[in-house]
Structure 1
Amino acid sequence: MPAPEEPTTFPFPGSTYRGPDPRFARLRAECPVARVDTAGGGHAWLVTRHADVRAALEDERFSRAAVYAPGAPRFDGLFQAPPGMIVSLDPPEHTRLRALAELAFSPERIEGMRPRVRELVDGLMDGLAAEGPPADLVAGFAAPLALTVICELLGVPLEDRDHFHTWVRQFAAVDGPEEEALEGRERLGSYMAALVARKREQPCDDVLSALAAARIGDDRLSDEELVVFGYTLLGAGFDSTAGQLALTVLTLTAHHPGTWRHLGEHPERVPTALEELLRTVNLFATDTSGLPRVATEDVVIGDVTVPAGDAVFLAFASANRDETVFPSPDRLDFERADNPHLAFGHGTHRCLGAPLARLELSVAIGALAARFPGLRPAVPENELRWRTGDVNTGLLALPVNW
């Protein structure tokens, strides 16, 4: 396989919420499994084609747990999930935790939240209407919706929820002082430890209580595992969903206003359009999930042998633009019927919260488009303020008019 035409240092600087850096297309065509230098020194392998990313996600020789072994590659400026989180484990440990979590995170429980999500959406839309126009869609809608839903799902008391925004921001930051990220993680952990103890003593109808009660034979989650699960779900359920919602609304209202109005008039078409938006709106700040894997032995992927001990990054944003899977991949086709995108991953580590994210996003987009068909950004796109140095691409604010 020929080498790419230019030196490559990962992460690439040319990616935005609208798509990955253009050099990903060249890598898919010329060198789909590329050895790249990484910011801060060292190297890794970057996998860019859809089929190869899926294959790597299914191959247990690409290990998440090995990332934490002594002597494993380290990468400055990239999020490192702490050891012990479900995203940091391999089978069989991961399989055990996943099976117990799925007992509590059932499709029936998630679907049962739909009326409450719609109630929250309606209340937040009333707040936007009272405030504006203009109004801030991040502070006034996306962030409070995502935070309230995940806190209610976990059973976090209302009076405690304001603490989490700061702690999650500290935890997710990758370019700030390391001690701040550690402080955010420790504060989340301490709070969750106290909450888990309360749920053990006085269980309620929430996921954290259900996780505490989950059993497979004699097996159950330990208190430490419950604490880690709690802040994992809180961070992912809040930050990722709020970010994806704001970016999706920006994409539709700034670049596809006709589709925005159409979805408000035809809510039955929102689910199909949402899958295309999940494929094309790039939430990942590094075009990957930010979670490297380490080859535990020499592994052939594509036409390349990745040596044992080397790190691999899987470029989800690039895989979602693979022209061999998605015809006209850079065009948003809101009627695209066959859409095997990897926004929620694939295989063992497929996102546990994907059904909840889809529910929140579809309810929110359909309701907003119906109530505010003329919604549009209130400032030029080059004046929007972005949060940098995080796991996810995020807007600090999204001023909107209607």
Structure 2
Amino acid sequence: MSRTCPYHPPPGYANLRERGPLSRARLYDGRVAWVVTGYEETRRLLVDPRLSSDRSRPDFPVLVPRMAAARLTALVGMDPPEHDVQRRMLIGNFTVRRVTALRPSIRRIVDERIDALLAKGEGADLIPEFALPVPSTVICELLGVPYRDHEFFEEQTRRMLMATSTARQAADAATALLGYFDTLIGAKLAGKGEHTPDDGLLDELVEDRLRTGELSRPDLATIAMFLLVAGHETTANMIGLSILALLEHSGELARLRADGTLLTGAVEELLRFLSVADELQRVAAADIEIGGVVIEQGDGVYLPNAAANRSAEAFPDPDMFDITRSSRHHLAFGYGVHQCIGQNLARAELEIALGRLITRIPTLRLAEPLDALGTKPGGSVQGVLRLPVTW
């Protein structure tokens, strides 16, 4: 299902909710799967060990053909205990303390982009000029990936994740990215620091996990690809849609400009309200009785967090954007053992990017009507294709 408004879920989600917290829907390949729209049912299922995230299973549900080919199997596509081993390797780099230490660097990156915007004139498309390069630069610096290659990996990410890509295009993009990281890992192993950043997470993994034999080179390349793709694509769309939502809700934007202490809560409400990563899939490894139905072993289960985050049982007046709402219990980052490992980093990037932008460019406004921006289709990370603004 595709959105008709960039910052609202597809209208079909409300229709599904009317059938109950779980309902049946037919996927593109004719397979029937469960769709979960209830908030409490979504939370319960996301911590239920009988639901598998293993994308190598032949019965794992596929929403669009490219999903079977993209091979994003690290972390999100694994079950415990393999998932837990990889998560423990990485989690220390994404703690609140570690991200707090990164905030000055994030602010520098954000301010450099705003400086460039102001130097160019009185208007710009904020997607390529701000929303995308901010998280792309941040994740490159964190991983130790040369930002000069950003056009290559951003293009491959688009080919891999866009719902309009074919399975062949997605597979080719994944192969290209894995090859890129294999070459980069080889350069780091050889100590070619002159051309390769040598102070990032990837370097730590090379030294502490690859050289010790704890990780294989292909597994490390897969982890690096996952972190790079997840680290810039979702946050870029979130920054873009957050700016749009604020500009479209001028009253909330005015409240935020008047009281900067509301920024942290505003980010949580934006995460709930927008839910850009709206594609959580699982497969039942055993029968599960929930919400008055039985999910049978082998059944596909789709948990769209945009539906759960617009549930009136958890959020009164859920379709209203309110930056003073208590939204911290949203499911935008998932829930349970697969909850997004980079959520602290994403929050910091959103707070700094939005806070600095609305402060430094107080006259920011949309340059074109909402319906001219282009909304990304269903089956991909949600966002707008363009965000032309003026000031």
Q: Same fold (TM over 0.5)?
A: yes
In the alignment, the residues of structure 2 paired with residue 373 and residue 213 of structure 1 have an alpha-carbon distance, to the nearest angstrom, of: 46
Equivalent residue number for residue 231 of structure 1: 225
* Equivalent residue letter for 2:318: P
Equivalent residue number for residue 259 of structure 1: 252
Equivalent residue number for residue 314 of structure 1: 303
Equivalent residue number for residue 38 of structure 1: 27
Contact 2:42 2:303 in 1 (8 A): yes
Deviation of residue 390 (structure 1)? 5.7
Deviation of residue 233 (structure 1)? 0.9
Q: Mean alpha-carbon deviation: is it higher for 337-346 or for 97-106? A: 97-106
* Equivalent residue letter for 2:229: G
Which of 92, 105, 109 lines up with 2:81 in the alignment?
92
Equivalent residue number for residue 248 of structure 1: 242
Unpaired stretches in structure 2, ≥5 consecutive residues: none
Change (3 A) 1:154 1:247: same
* Equivalent residue letter for 2:206: A
Deviation of residue 304 (structure 1)? 0.9
Contact 1:85 1:229 in 2 (8 A): yes
Number of equivalenced pairs: 384
Contact 2:284 2:297 in 1 (8 A): yes
- CA offsets 1:230-253 (integer angstroms, 9 cap, x no match): 110111111111101000100101
Equivalent residue number for residue 380 of structure 1: 369
Contact 1:16 1:282 in 2 (8 A): no
Deviation of residue 367 (structure 1)? 0.5
* Equivalent residue letter for 2:222: V
- CA offsets 1:300-329 (integer angstroms, 9 cap, x no match): 122110111110001211110111111111
- CA offsets 1:102-133 (integer angstroms, 9 cap, x no match): 13434333221111111111111111112232
Equivalent residue number for residue 124 of structure 1: 113
TM-score, length basis structure 2: 0.91
In the alignment, the residues of structure 2 paired with residue 272 and residue 73 of structure 1 have an alpha-carbon distance, to the nearest angstrom, of: 35
After TM superposition, the structure 1 = structure 2 runs for residues 63-82 of structure 1, keeping only pairs within 5 Å, are 63-65=52-54, 67-70=55-58, 72-77=60-65, 79-80=67-68, 82=71
In the alignment, the residues of structure 2 paired with residue 95 and residue 260 of structure 1 have an alpha-carbon distance, to the nearest angstrom, of: 40
Deviation of residue 366 (structure 1)? 0.5
* Equivalent residue letter for 1:160: D
Contact 1:79 1:173 in 2 (8 A): no
Q: Mean alpha-carbon deviation: is it higher for 363-372 or for 333-342? A: 333-342
Deviation of residue 168 (structure 1)? 1.0
In the alignment, the residues of structure 2 paired with residue 144 and residue 121 of structure 1 have an alpha-carbon distance, to the nearest angstrom, of: 9
After TM superposition, the structure 1 = structure 2 runs for residues 41-190 of structure 1, keeping only pairs within 5 Å, are 41-65=30-54, 67-70=55-58, 72-77=60-65, 79-80=67-68, 82=71, 84-190=73-179
In the alignment, the residues of structure 2 paired with residue 13 and residue 119 of structure 1 have an alpha-carbon distance, to the nearest angstrom, of: 36
- Is residue 327 of structure 1 aligned with residue 320 of structure 2? no
In the alignment, the residues of structure 2 paired with residue 260 and residue 70 of structure 1 have an alpha-carbon distance, to the nearest angstrom, of: 47
After TM superposition, the structure 1 = structure 2 runs for residues 178-217 of structure 1, keeping only pairs within 5 Å, are 178-202=167-191, 204-214=198-208
In the alignment, the residues of structure 2 paired with residue 106 and residue 220 of structure 1 have an alpha-carbon distance, to the nearest angstrom, of: 22
Equivalent residue number for residue 345 of structure 1: 334
Equivalent residue number for residue 7 of structure 1: none
- CA offsets 1:119-159 (integer angstroms, 9 cap, x no match): 11111111111223221111111111111111111111233
Contact 1:260 1:373 in 2 (8 A): no
Equivalent residue number for residue 4 of structure 1: none
In the alignment, the residues of structure 1 paired with residue 85 and residue 2 of structure 2 have an alpha-carbon distance, to the nearest angstrom, of: 38
In the alignment, the residues of structure 2 paired with residue 271 and residue 104 of structure 1 have an alpha-carbon distance, to the nearest angstrom, of: 21
Unpaired stretches in structure 1, ≥5 consecutive residues: 1-11
- CA offsets 1:210-230 (integer angstroms, 9 cap, x no match): 233446xx8833222211111
In the alignment, the residues of structure 1 paired with residue 72 and residue 368 of structure 2 have an alpha-carbon distance, to the nearest angstrom, of: 42
Change (3 A) 1:161 1:20: closer
Change (3 A) 1:199 1:106: farther
Contact 1:326 1:339 in 2 (8 A): no
After TM superposition, the structure 1 = structure 2 runs for residues 294-305 of structure 1, keeping only pairs within 5 Å, are 294-305=283-294
TM-score, length basis structure 1: 0.89
- CA offsets 1:66-123 (integer angstroms, 9 cap, x no match): x432355544356345264211100011011111111343433322111111111111
- Is residue 369 of structure 1 aligned with residue 363 of structure 2? no
Contact 1:175 1:389 in 2 (8 A): no
Task: Please identify runs of 4+ aligned residues in structure 1 that moved more than 6 A.
Answer: none
* Equivalent residue letter for 1:21: P
Which of 366, 380, 383 lines up with 1:391 in the alignment?
380
In the alignment, the residues of structure 1 paired with residue 207 and residue 4 of structure 2 have an alpha-carbon distance, to the nearest angstrom, of: 43
- CA offsets 1:344-386 (integer angstroms, 9 cap, x no match): 0010110011111101100010011111222111001111133
Deviation of residue 50 (structure 1)? 0.9
In the alignment, the residues of structure 2 paired with residue 25 and residue 388 of structure 1 have an alpha-carbon distance, to the nearest angstrom, of: 18
**RMSD, aligned CA:** 2.2
In the alignment, the residues of structure 1 paired with residue 241 and residue 72 of structure 2 have an alpha-carbon distance, to the nearest angstrom, of: 30
Equivalent residue number for residue 275 of structure 1: 268
Change (3 A) 1:161 1:25: closer
* Equivalent residue letter for 2:380: V
Change (3 A) 1:72 1:171: closer
SS in 2 for 1:113: helix
* Equivalent residue letter for 2:256: L
In the alignment, the residues of structure 2 paired with residue 259 and residue 70 of structure 1 have an alpha-carbon distance, to the nearest angstrom, of: 47
In the alignment, the residues of structure 1 paired with residue 244 and residue 72 of structure 2 have an alpha-carbon distance, to the nearest angstrom, of: 35
Change (3 A) 1:40 1:63: same
